[in-house]
Amino acid sequence: MHLNRPRLSHSLTLIPLLLALPALAQTAPQAGLQAQPQSLAECTPLTDNAQRLACFDRVAAQAAGTVATTAAATDPNAASATVAAAPAAPAAVPAVPTTAPAAGSAFDAPRNSAIDHTASVDPTVQAAAEYTLSSHWELDPRDKRGVFKFRPHRPSYLIATRTHRPNEAPYRDFFETEGEGLSKAELEFQLSFKMKLVETLFEQPIDVWFGYTQNSFWQAANHEASSPFRETNYQPEIMATMPLNYALLGTNIKFLNLGFVHQSNGQSSTLSRSWNRFYAQLGLERGPLTMTAKLWKRVNESLEDDNNPDIIDYMGRFELEGNYRLGGGHEINALVRRNFHTDKGAVQVGWAFPLAGPVKGYINAFSGYGQSMIDYNYFQRSLGLGVVVKY
């Protein structure tokens, strides 16, 4: 067998390639260095100034990218800080939507949290906001706060009062001495709250509330009679509240309440007074003026159990109440009851003025029948000065 021998001309052509291998081996690291240098030390051997500076820039850029990647893995918020400072186009601010206003309404409709997520339901924010019937009764979706939370009902106050002539007749049998009697000066205080029991009853916009009001008359300065509590009235009630959306002559009709209320003084024997009523209450609002109109029907009792069968003659069958908010936190309120058949009733007016936060000064004047249950058939005039809490 004969082997083919390489020709000499082919061998001579390989000599230049073999001579070039050392030069290629020397430039290979430099090419790799230009492609992806790992440290500044690898850039130092470069003799060309432009290449060495470009190598330094690549090392610095690679180090910055490594830090940004590590920060993004550990803290997503930190990654956003490394984004280029190119100004982003400002986002368009959507218009604040509102519920549709009532036909003919003179005032803007309230914001609705169902479509406006910026509407606040925070109690602190609402407490600082201006009082409205919607916020007081949680009529609008943005005002809803859920069930079983204490909310204000009637005014809560503490006032020092002085009456023109106290009603001593019911207490004469209980005076220990002949000269003992009632003082014209008293401390009167009222505590009132309500709590929602059911929200959106039967998937309808109807809320069910429980309310409680306690009003006490304390003969604090009557030391001869051991400073007794002359009278305390207890008034639990339950009511269903339905929001309305009507307007009449620029006045917004806001809600309708249907309720049942018990009121008594917790006494026995000849001092016992009590009655039960079904009522309907309408709430109206016109700018800074809020009004409520209440009509009631007494639940009749047997003559043996009725301690005050003629109470309607003095307390009437309806009650009007209004509150007008002046500038600077001042408020004027009034209450009127009347029985046009007997020409008997009562009028009460008050002025609340700012003191400190939710605590306001309060001046109150009353004239008529029914300031308390024991006085339902006794005409009385009184003037009071103290504080009222608005929360």
Instruction: For 154-167, write each residue's pLDDT tens digit.
Output: 999 999 999 999 99
Percentage of the residues of the chain whose pLDDT score is greater than 90: 60
Q: Which of 120, 262, 272, 330 is catalytic?
A: 262
| Number of neighbours of residue 139 by Cβ within 10 angstroms | 23
If phi > 0 it is left, if psi is from -120 to 50 it is alpha, else beta; for residue 104 that is: left
SS (H, E, C) 357-378: CCEEEEEEEEEECCCCCCCCCC
Give the DSSP per-residue string, 203-235. GSS-EEEEEEEEEEEE-TT-GGGTS-EEEEEEE
Residue 346 has pLDDT above 90, yes or no: yes
pLDDT confidence of residue 191 = 98
Neighbours of 365 (CB within 10 A): 14
Q: How far apart are CA 317 and CA 341, in angstroms?
A: 11
Model confidence at 342: pLDDT above 90: yes
Distance between CA atoms of residues 333 and 317, nearest Å: 21
Please answer whether residues 363 and 333 qualify as being in contact, where contact means their C-beta atoms are separated by less than 8 angstroms: no
Q: What is the pLDDT of residues 227-278, one digit of tens each?
A: 999 999 999 999 999 999 899 999 999 999 999 999 999 998 899 999 999 9
Q: What is the pLDDT of residue 56?
A: 74
Query: Which range among 175-179, 252-256, 356-360 shows the weakest confidence by mean pLDDT?
Result: 175-179
- Predicted pLDDT of residue 74: 52
Q: How confident is the model at residue 178 (pLDDT cuts 50, 70, 90)?
A: low
- The per-residue pLDDT for 303 is 87
Q: Choose between 109 and 168: higher pLDDT.
A: 168
pLDDT at 280 over 90: yes
pLDDT of 284 above 60 = yes
pLDDT at 48: 73
* Torsion angle, alpha carbons of 313, 315, 319, 322, to 10: 130
Supply the pLDDT for residue 82.
43
Identify whether 164 is a catalytic site residue: no
For the four alpha carbons of 56, 57, 63 and 64, in that order, the dihedral sign comes to positive
Is the pLDDT at 383 greater than 80, yes or no?
Answer: yes
Question: Which residue among 264, 272, 330, 367 is the active-site one?
Answer: 264
Could you tell me which residue, 32 or 257, shows the higher pLDDT? 257
- The CA dihedral of 386, 170, 335, 309, to the nearest 10 degrees, is 160
Is the pLDDT at 212 greater than 70, yes or no? yes
**Packed helices 8-35 and 49-74: angle between N→C axes, nearest 10 degrees:** 50
User: Which one, of 231, 229, 232, lies nearest residue 219 by Cα?
Assistant: 229
pLDDT at 180: 77
Average pLDDT over residues 27-52: 62
Q: How far apart are CA 137 and CA 365, in angstroms?
A: 27
What gap in Å lies between CA 101 and CA 245, rounded to an integer? 8
Model pLDDT for residues 73-123, shown as the tens digit of each residue: 555 454 444 444 444 444 444 444 444 444 433 334 444 444 444 444 444
Question: What is the pLDDT confidence band of residue 65, given thresholds at 50, 70 and 90?
Answer: low
What integer pLDDT is reported at residue 113 of this predicted model? 40
For 32-46, 182-196, 303-317, which range has the lowest pLDDT when averaged over its residues?
Answer: 32-46
What is the pLDDT, as a whole number, of residue 40? 67
The whole-number pLDDT of residue 86 equals: 42
Q: What is the pLDDT of residue 109?
A: 42
Catalytic status, residue 264? yes
Mean pLDDT over 276-291 rounds to 97
Q: Name the range with the highest mean pLDDT among 35-49, 129-143, 357-371.
A: 357-371
* Burial profile 157-191: b = 16 or more Cβ within 10 angstroms, e = fewer: bbbebebeebbeebbeeeeeeeeeebbeebbbbbb
pTM: 0.68
Q: Could you give the C-alpha distances from 217 to 163, 186, 201, 324, in angstroms and in order? A: 12, 6, 38, 27
Of the two residues 34 and 339, the one the predictor is more confident about is 339
User: Per-residue pLDDT averaged across 169-192, rounded?
Assistant: 88
312-340: per-residue pLDDT in tens? 999 999 999 999 999 899 999 999 999 99
